[in-house]
Amino acid sequence: MKKYLLGNFEDKFIFIFLFQLLAFWQVWIWYTKRTIDISDEPWGLLALFTALFFLLSSKVTNKNIFEQKKHLYILTSMLLIYSLAGNYMADIIKAGLAVMAICYTLCLYKLNKPFNLSILGLLFLSLPIIPSLQFYLGYPL
Confidence at 35, pLDDT banded by 50, 70, 90? confident
Determine the pLDDT at residue 62: 62
Determine the pLDDT at residue 141: 47
How far apart are the C-alpha atoms of 93 and 42, rounded to whole Å?
Answer: 20
Q: pLDDT digits over 54-74, tens only?
A: 888 887 766 666 667 777 788
Determine the pLDDT at residue 127: 87
How far apart are the C-alpha atoms of 107 and 120, rounded to whole Å?
Answer: 9
Q: pLDDT digits over 39-48, tens only?
A: 667 778 888 8
Global confidence as pTM: 0.79
The closest alpha carbon to 97, from 84, 78, 73, belongs to: 78
